[in-house]
Amino acid sequence: MEKEISQAVIRRMPRYYRYLGELIDAGAERISSNDLSARMNVTASQIRQDLNNFGGFGQQGYGYNVKHLHEEIGKILGLCEMHSIIIIGAGNLGQALANYSDFEKFGFTIAALFDVNPRLKGRKIRGIEIHMLDELEAFTCRYKADIAALTLPKSQADAVANRLVDLGITAIWNFAHVDLDLADQNVIVENVHLSDSLMQLSYNIAKKKNA
């Protein structure tokens, strides 16, 4: 039904969604693309272009209805469906994700954590249990999770990712410091590189120094 939309556009959608959520909390009913632009540090024409990919939503002279636009972007982002996440690797980062209760607001439930460290077996993070990694097959057999967050060492990431693909996982949210290459497999991969945003910060520091 729809044309291919670039991932660069999709990457901006969560930001629109967050800002519109804040506007709703602040009691705003409508907003012009200019005001949204000023707030978000994106040009108004970029906003119009981005939203036109999905059919517009704005009205000349009125701007955008905040609640409606928030809902529509939520639908575009697939947030009206519930998603279930398992976290593979219950170290600091895995536990930090499990503690992040905001994910639930967006429809993402964390079902379980997995680790190989026997001392973590049965421990709970915010009520979410840590299982041993060798229970993964049994767990996913009775409990259908669609997203696996990989928060484990680089050296183990590929082996576990392939095991998850065999178990029919839909998507991998990869925090291991390696770009998984599973393009041939029927799985969606989103690699998170924390150092990328640190480098962007570093660029802006250098730019400021040279200004």
Q: Is 2 helix (H, G, I), strand (E, B) or coil?
A: coil
Q: What minimum distance in Å lies between the beta carbon of 108 and a copy of itself?
A: 6
Q: Does 77 bind a copy of itself (CB under 8 A)?
A: yes
Helix or strand holding residue 113 (H, E): strand 108-115
How many residues sit in the footprint of a copy of itself (CB under 8 A)?
56
Only segment of 7-15, 48-56, 113-121, 131-139 that touches a copy of itself (CB under 8 A)? 7-15
Q: Which of 32, 57, 67, 91 binds a copy of itself (CB under 8 A)?
A: 91
Restricted to residues 126-155, the positions that interact with a copy of itself (CB under 8 A) are 146-147
As a whole number of angstroms, the distance between CA 70 and CA 34 comes to 17
Any idea which residue has 């120094």 for tokens?
Answer: 209
Apex 72 CA angle, 192 and 197, nearest 5: 20
For residues 111 and 144, give the distance between their C-alpha atoms in angstroms, rounded to a whole number.
9
**Alpha-carbon 140 to chain mean position:** 21
**Rounded to whole angstroms, how far apart are CA atoms 73 and 59?**
16
Contact region with a copy of itself (CB under 8 A), list: 27-35, 49-57, 111-119, 189-197: 189-197
Query: Under the rule (CB under 8 A), what is the footprint of a copy of itself?
Result: 1, 7-8, 10-11, 13-15, 17-18, 76-79, 81, 83, 91-93, 95-97, 99-100, 102-103, 106-108, 146-147, 170-171, 173, 177, 179, 188, 190, 192-208, 210
